[in-house]
Amino acid sequence: MKSISRLIAALSLLLIVTTVSHGQNKIQDITDYKSLFEIITPLVNNGNKIKFNARGHSMEPTIMDKDDVTIRKYYRDILPYDIVVYQPDQDEYRLNRIVSINADNTINLSGDSTGDVGTYDRSCILALVESVETQDGIIYHLDTPEGRTLGEKVARTEWPDNKFTQKELLKVLPSIKGQITDTEGTPFYPVGQYSFNEFLVLNENSIVVKNSQGALDFSTYLSVNSSALYLIYNLKGKAFSANTMTKLITEKYEVSYEIANRDCVSILSIWYKIGLVHKL
């Protein structure tokens, strides 16, 4: 007999990087940025914003290790003090600040904490860093005149003389409160009708959700199996409840309504908390 219990394991949160947003639920450590950017570069080129978890210390205090950054395609010419993701060679991806643009179409890059990191052809730029979401859940917009003015000041300050904390440094920038993912906090019982938000199916077992800022959120994603995809594909574009999900499961699997309903309630609660669905 096929067991619905597989659904719970299949729908548990799985990370593409070290932590679920803002350090909750440490589950798995994957720091292979080559594999990550092989996936997200075509998405950026097609106009999608992408959010992912940044690793390393070269851009501190502007971007701290394990902060989430949102990147997008350039829709204008590059400017000094933009922060960019670039590919200096085939197997390496970096995130640094442009400090100057040269007449020969090269750019000089630096880390906010490390100083000069080299000169590269501007064709190696993959994306512009639009914002950083700090680990206390504040989103600071870096792709602004204020962000570039601040970047110039940081770039001209020799480290470690720059004693600013991240909060002190970024407080002059436009900011909003982010949505911190909570999968272990306040119990939530999903009552009423729900509908899916935008998402992307990467392959037969991975789903990435588009967040409230319009970015595909690679800082967390769902690992799903064929049973979960069966639910998602049958419910996408429709209003549904936990009872609707239960009916679909009991029609396909030999399982009691009580067990199916219990597990579908749990699954829908997870979907709601990570932003895959919204309440109507």
C-beta separation of 59 from 111 below 8 A: yes
Q: Rounded to an integer, what distance in angstroms lies between the CA atom of residue 252 and that of residue 2?
A: 9
Q: Rounded to an integer, what distance in angstroms lies between the CA atom of residue 161 and that of residue 142?
A: 22
Torsion sign over Cα 171, 176, 180, 185: positive
Q: Go through 96-120 and write b for each residue having 16 or more CB atoms within 10 A of its CB, e for each that does not.
A: bbbbebeeeebbbbbbbbeeebeeb
All domains of the chain in start order, with CATH: 5-16+183-279 (no CATH), 55-177 (2.10.109)
Q: Rounded to an integer, what distance in angstroms lies between the CA atom of residue 95 and that of residue 57?
A: 10
pLDDT tens for the 280 residues of the chain, in order: 434 433 333 333 222 222 223 233 222 333 467 778 888 888 899 899 999 888 889 998 899 998 999 999 998 888 999 999 999 888 888 999 999 999 998 999 999 888 899 999 999 999 999 999 998 888 999 999 999 998 888 887 754 555 678 888 888 787 776 554 444 445 566 788 999 998 888 776 778 888 878 888 887 767 777 777 888 889 999 999 999 999 998 998 888 888 888 888 888 888 888 788 889 9
Q: What is the pTM of this model?
A: 0.73
pLDDT of residue 161: 54
pLDDT of residue 15: 23
pLDDT of residue 40: 86
For 219, how many CA atoms within 13 A lie in the half-sphere containing its CB? 34
Structure tokens at 113: 């904490």
Beta strand extents in 122-198 (DSSP E only): 125-133, 138-141, 175-177, 194-196
pLDDT of residue 9: 32
Q: Nearest Cα to 25, choosing from 266, 208, 274? A: 274
pLDDT of residue 91: 80
Non-local (6+) Cβ contacts of 128 within 8 A are 71, 72, 73, 74, 78, 82, 83, 84, 143
C-beta separation of 175 from 193 below 8 A: no
Q: Nearest Cα to 122, choosing from 105, 110, 141, 109? A: 105
